[in-house]
Amino acid sequence: MVRKIKLKKNRVSKDVGKELQKAREKSTYIKNLRKKYPLSKPCTYWDDNRDMELEEKGRELLVKGDLDGAKRAFEELLAISTYHHSPCEFLAYTLYLKEEEQEFREWLMDEVVKTAIFFFEEDTLDRDVLDQILENQMRMKEGKELIKWWE
């Protein structure tokens, strides 16, 4: 299943988006990721070329079952881009499949949901994508199998 993501450049409200990003920037985990991946320069926007390349690499590793490799790719992506929901979403899914860091992955999914709702309200995210995110959040809380839409 392929998700349709409708992105409209420069359409997202800068003030609200910055508030979401500021909250993540304060996270000790994000600060530690930036130390772990010092060559990954953080930015305040989603760069389709750079960020999609890392996301695709992580998704390929996830599909192959290389959860450690996927975790590294999504950690690096999160160190770069705290603005978009995708790095948090995939890192949370990877940690869930690895059965690691339950408290942190729940925080990540909460951040994913906040950002996805924001993007949906700004008309930059389709309803079915938001529904998939919410469904997977519920499945994670209940210990059920994820909807692996990326396969």
With 0-12 / 13-18 / 19 or more C-beta atoms within 10 angstroms meaning exposed / middle / buried, residue 81 is: buried
Report pLDDT for 127: 93
Of 95 and 47, more confident: 95
Q: What is the pLDDT of residue 98?
A: 92
Structure tokens at 120: 């949906």
Looking at the domain that runs over 14-142, which CATH code has it been given?
A: 1.25.40
Cβ neighbours around 60 below 10 Å, total: 14
Output the pTM of the full model: 0.75
pLDDT of residue 24: 61
Where do the structural domains in the chain lie, given as residue ranges?
14-142
User: What pLDDT, in 10s, does the model give residues 2-61?
Assistant: 454 444 433 444 454 555 555 565 577 777 777 887 766 666 556 666 777 888 999 999
Q: How far apart are CA 138 and CA 133, in angstroms?
A: 9
